[in-house]
Structure 1
Amino acid sequence: MADTIHLVKLCVGAEKVEDLLDWQANARAKGPDGLPRHVTRMWPKRADQILDGGSLYWVFKGLVLCRQPIVRLDPVDRGDGINRCGIVLDPEVVRVAATPRRPFQGWRYLQPGDAPRDLPKGRETQQPLPPQLENALAEIGVL
């Protein structure tokens, strides 16, 4: 059995988790089976580890705020000769403790020990703090 590993990715064009939820409600964000997916050009070399319970952690404005369990990886052909990877996601979004993350391109692997902890049940519906305050609190380890 493989050791689980996660992915982390910038949620480009979104400022908050609700923006991601709105996008994933759109038919363009779903695969043929109706599950949300993120299509990327690169196929993870550590796919077995990702599929062993991994999640995609989303970064919004410099903070990791949520994750989605990865269901599977599908090949995607858009007719241009480029083989892409469709990261098929569980539609349930799990809020996590706000954790600062510097900008980067594409996706990165995330070790389980470095992954932000899930927020306790009930806190996920609390009104979010302003992003600058949340970022400042996360940087000093309060969140």
Structure 2
Amino acid sequence: MPTTIEDVAIDTNSDIEGNHAFSLLNQSGSDQAIEVTFEANSSFPSDAEVYMVSKYEEGSGDSEQTSALVATATPNAREASIIYSDETQYSTDVDSGTDVKVSILVVVGDAATGADLGGTLTVRAGSHDDFNTADQ
């Protein structure tokens, strides 16, 4: 059976620690809720998809908190968010001095070579009240 991008996105055994797009380090001195949001540009091809995969190793020990969280921007939902917060199910705040690793995977579908696959990546920390609820 061939491996799909969906299989890769939900594979919590992948080497995200060594192969991630970026890392978010909490240097604030206190635990913080963190949100990472991707919003596709209006010219983003309708059959393309973006997967954000994150991993936070220092969860409270529950498998839901130490495994990867996945968010998807698809043709029907062009915005996706990953939220680490004590107030969100299967999640936890990010402890001071620890980091979250984030990878971005793109399925280009039938997009033409040179198609604009851009979007806006936003990172927020602090109050959960300011966060989106696009994908939790």
TM-score by length of 2: 0.27
More helix, by proportion: 1
Highest RCO, 1 vs 2 (Cα 8 Å, sep ≥ 6) = 2
